[in-house]
Amino acid sequence: MASPVAIGDAPGVSTGSARWQPRPAPLLRVRTWLARSRLDAEIAQGVRRPGDPALALRESQLIEMRQRRRLAARLEEVVAPPAPRRGASSRAPVDRSAVAIATPLLTDLALLLRSPDAVEATGMALGWRLITDPGSPLYEVEERGASRGERLWRESSEVLDALRPK
């Protein structure tokens, strides 16, 4: 989870409390948005820099309920039976055999994300990487025959563990 001290030290960054706090400075928001891929990769690796307001802001953005619901919806789409295709699509094909094996974990992920329980930014960054990375085991069909889904199971389990506060 984002460090309250790090967030509190960032000018204008909300700690998520019930009282009103000013929005982060526009320049900080723009810098964070431009660097979000790099920041997400650092957060996924567990990088901690208490004095970095952009990293603190990105952590707080990742754990917002809106982002949690978006990731949960994407996971639910993956688990749902595939809709009939209507022509060409730019979406990467999902490895259905791997998803069938990892469905319990993917469902648990979606349930945790929709719950009011606190989650860690590291888990959110890993979850988004699982969904958006074309090399993810979610999309990777093994060359010889159907996927056994071990890699998707393992990485989904890692996301679930990383989401839970320590």
Looking at residue 64, what is its pLDDT?
Answer: 96
> Which residues, other chains included, contact 153 with Cβ-Cβ below 8 Å and sequence gap of 6+?
98, 101, 102, 105
Q: What percent of the chain has pLDDT over 70?
A: 82
What's the CA gap between 104 and 38, in Å, rounded? 30
The pTM for the full model equals 0.80
More confident residue, 139 or 117: 117
The mean of the pLDDT values for the chain is 84
Looking at residue 21, what is its pLDDT?
Answer: 54
Task: Show the tokens assigned to 90.
Answer: 């730019």
Work out the average pLDDT over 3-12. Answer: 43
Taking a C-beta distance cutoff of 8 angstroms, is the pair 107, 79 a contact?
Answer: yes
Looking at residue 86, what is its pLDDT?
Answer: 76
Work out the average pLDDT over 39-60. Answer: 93
What's the CA gap between 152 and 104, in Å, rounded? 12
pLDDT in tens, 78-110: 999 887 777 777 777 888 889 999 999 999 999
pLDDT in tens, 109-125: 999 999 999 999 999 99
Find how far residue 28's CA is from the centre of its chain: 21
Looking at residue 154, what is its pLDDT?
Answer: 94
Buried b (16+ CB within 10 A) or exposed e, 25-57: eeebbebbeeebeebbebbbeeeeeeebbbbbb
What's the CA gap between 6 and 77, in Å, rounded? 35
Task: Show the tokens assigned to 99.
Answer: 């998803």
What's the CA gap between 32 and 38, in Å, rounded? 10
Of the ranges 5-14, 20-29, 56-65, 141-150, the best mean pLDDT one: 56-65
What's the CA gap between 75 and 11, in Å, rounded? 34
Looking at residue 81, what is its pLDDT?
Answer: 87
